[in-house]
Amino acid sequence: MSVPILEATPTPEPMITRQTTWRLLMNNRLAAAGFYVIALVVLIALLAPLLPLHDPDVTDPADRLLPVFSESHILGTDHLGRDVLARLVWGTRISLLVGISAALMAAFFGSLIGLVAGYAGGRTDNLIMRGIDMLMAFPYILLALAIVAVLGPGLLNALYAIAVVNIPFFARNVRGIALGLSHREFVDAARLSGKSHTAIVATEILPNVLPVIVITMSTTVGWMILETAGLSFLGLGAQPPQADLGSMLGQGRALLFTAPMISVVPGVMVFLIVMSINLLGDGVRDALDPRLRAGALTRPMPVTRIDRENVPAPDEMARASALAVTELETSFETAGGREPAVKGVSFSLRKGECLGLVGESGSGKSVTALSVLGLVASPPGVITGGAVTIEGRDVFSLRETEIGSLRGGKVAYIFQDPLTTLHPLFTVGEQVAEAIRAHQPVGRAQAQAKAVDLLRTVRIPDPEQRASAYPHELSGGQRQRVGIAMALANEPDIIIADEPTTALDVTVQAEILRLLQVLRQERGLALLFITHDFGVVAEICDRVAVMRRGEIVEAGDTAAVLGNPQHPYTKRLIACVPKPGQGRRFLEAIRRLPAEEAAGGSGS
């Protein structure tokens, strides 16, 4: 019933597509099974006239209601003595023919409507789609019933009815893509070349919407077979002596208690057909549109998977610092094996100190930050080596609940882009209060009051009011302040801030940095500050570590590194900080960046 609504699907070379699509389809075991079953059924249905079967319509009162496996009647006979196997094969033939015809009809008219609406756009589109919406406002089967009511019972009328009620699915899906395509350059070019509208639709747009038509067809044809069988079952489709699977089932129902097999046999056949088509349809959809593949979605675990090869024992230094990272290695599982993103990173953070972790995107600095408390999405992330020591304990040896109590307790995170990192459906007050209640035994009202206090601390104006606002109702700067308030909720010793100002404009950025600086000094916080911006580092960090391709290439006091950078990469990063009147230097730095370096490492 749920037909995916697609947007633009890029179509590569047709020849290549055909081959790889076919291979993809057959690699999907379930889809392949569906294909073989439906192919067998179709083959038998096609060969029905050639098979050594009884005449499905010849009655034989002497052989009424023979049981299954009777001599010369493998599936027995019905109440008129007709051979059930022969009727099954011929009924299947009719059901398939009707279902597929309905699908082709719906696909043709639906796609036509969708193409016209999408290509014409504007008022035509609006009018047509309103009509389609109207049709979709009916319960599906009911509309088919109304059409059959008007046309009268009969197999052909049932076919029309089912085709009509399926037109909207095709119209909608095709229209969505055609609308997008009609504004593309190649269509404009065709228009300028003087091609007629019909020619453009047929030669430029139609080939690009074909995958969608195929997908929609493969996901609806099963339904159409099922629904035509349903109408026949109700006595509104095939009329005797003609019989499809549905009407066999409907007639068998009268004998359900005495001869159940007569209805079970066609029922199983419908089930088999629909299931194999559904399996095949899902496979076709996955092969043609990989974004919809079910397997592409995996659930991230609460803590990053830990599979360490080397576990360094924490030394004295590590024990003494607030946070120590020793030879950390984090990788991502890919089809081609484990792809390392962080390769043996070590640093430590003393109480009240601010360490800047600097590098361009893809250098592994965010992955490093997230690895500290096992927050790297897993799968695909795996921590493959090293240790993180907090208060003398190795984080990766802790139980899940212990890591949970560190998170937001001793160690708090501030993330980039608070629009996506705050929950859109809870008020900001609730979200801050929740952070408090996760670690402190306080009641709801008390937590709420504390949350308002925290919002005041981060200088959100009118905090009582703002607490009941949703994230989308706040400005970017205010959202980031909420993120900071949430981090401060349980008076952490360490804050890990992952590009907290990147999504903000310059003046707001300056305010947020000032706020962090004040809080750090007031509360003696240790701050791990991840950024790509040396300007920010110069402003607030005591020490700095420069990361490149998953490794720290240079570390030291901020002043020393800034004043006398040793590594060429650091020099270039520093040169990237724009200074008034020095745009030339910035461009030069970029120009000197070799292509292979620009390609960068993996992950971020």
Residue 290 class from Cβ within 10 Å (0-12 exposed, 13-18 middle, 19+ buried)?
exposed
Nearer to another protein, 94 or 370 (CB): 370
- Choose the binding region for another protein from 81-89, 108-116, 128-136, 179-187 (rule: CB under 8 A): 128-136
Binding mask 314-353 for another protein (x = CB under 8 A): ----------------------------------------
Nearer to another protein, 261 or 562 (CB): 261
> Which of positions 471-510 make contact with another protein (CB under 8 A)?
472, 486, 489-490
Cis peptide before 379 (omega within 30 of 0): yes
What does the alpha-carbon distance between residue 33 and residue 43 come to, in Å, rounded to a whole number? 15
Binding mask 151-180 for another protein (x = CB under 8 A): xxx---------------------------
From the list 473, 426, 430, 477, the residue with the least C-alpha distance to 451 is 430
Q: What share of the chain is helix, strand, coil (3-state, %, to 5)?
A: 55, 15, 30
Binding mask 386-405 for another protein (x = CB under 8 A): --------------xx--xx
Which residue is associated with the tokens 């029905």? 48
Could you give the 3-state DSSP secondary structure of residue 528? strand
Which residue is associated with the tokens 């010849």? 58
Please give the size of the binding site for another protein, defined by CB under 8 A.
84
Nearer to another protein, 39 or 149 (CB): 149
> Which of positions 192-231 make contact with another protein (CB under 8 A)?
222, 226, 229-230
> Which of positions 431-470 make contact with another protein (CB under 8 A)?
434-435, 438-439, 470
Nearer to another protein, 80 or 135 (CB): 135
141 contributes a contact to another protein by CB under 8 A: yes
Q: Which of 39, 127, 134, 317 binds another protein (CB under 8 A)?
A: 134
What does the alpha-carbon distance between residue 88 and residue 71 come to, in Å, rounded to a whole number? 17
* Residues in the chain, overall count: 604
From the list 374, 411, 389, 373, the residue with the least C-alpha distance to 311 is 389
- Choose the binding region for another protein from 181-189, 197-205, 430-438, 524-532 (rule: CB under 8 A): 430-438
Q: Which of 150, 335, 445, 595 binds another protein (CB under 8 A)?
A: 150
> Contact 57/241 with Cβ under 8 angstroms?
yes
Which is it for the CA torsion 430, 435, 441, 446, positive or negative? negative
Q: Which of 5, 46, 142, 189 binds another protein (CB under 8 A)?
A: 142
Paired residues of 414 in beta bridges: 497
Nearer to another protein, 69 or 257 (CB): 257
Q: How far is the CB of 420 from another protein (least distance, A)?
A: 4
> Which of positions 57-76 make contact with another protein (CB under 8 A)?
none
Q: Which of 18, 29, 319, 423 binds another protein (CB under 8 A)?
A: 423
135 contributes a contact to another protein by CB under 8 A: yes
**Structure token pair of residue 318:** 């590590």
| Ordered DSSP codes for 332-366 | EEETTEEEEEEEEEEEEE-TT-EEEEE--TTSSHH
From the list 344, 340, 342, 347, the residue with the least C-alpha distance to 321 is 347
270 contributes a contact to another protein by CB under 8 A: yes
Nearer to another protein, 19 or 420 (CB): 420
HSE-CB at 141 with a 13 A cutoff on CA atoms is 12
Alpha helices in 47-139 (DSSP H): 84-120, 122-136
Q: How far is the CB of 52 from another protein (least distance, A)?
A: 28
381 contributes a contact to another protein by CB under 8 A: no
- Choose the binding region for another protein from 98-106, 117-125, 406-414, 503-511 (rule: CB under 8 A): 406-414
> Which of positions 528-587 make contact with another protein (CB under 8 A)?
none
**Structure token pair of residue 350:** 């003393």
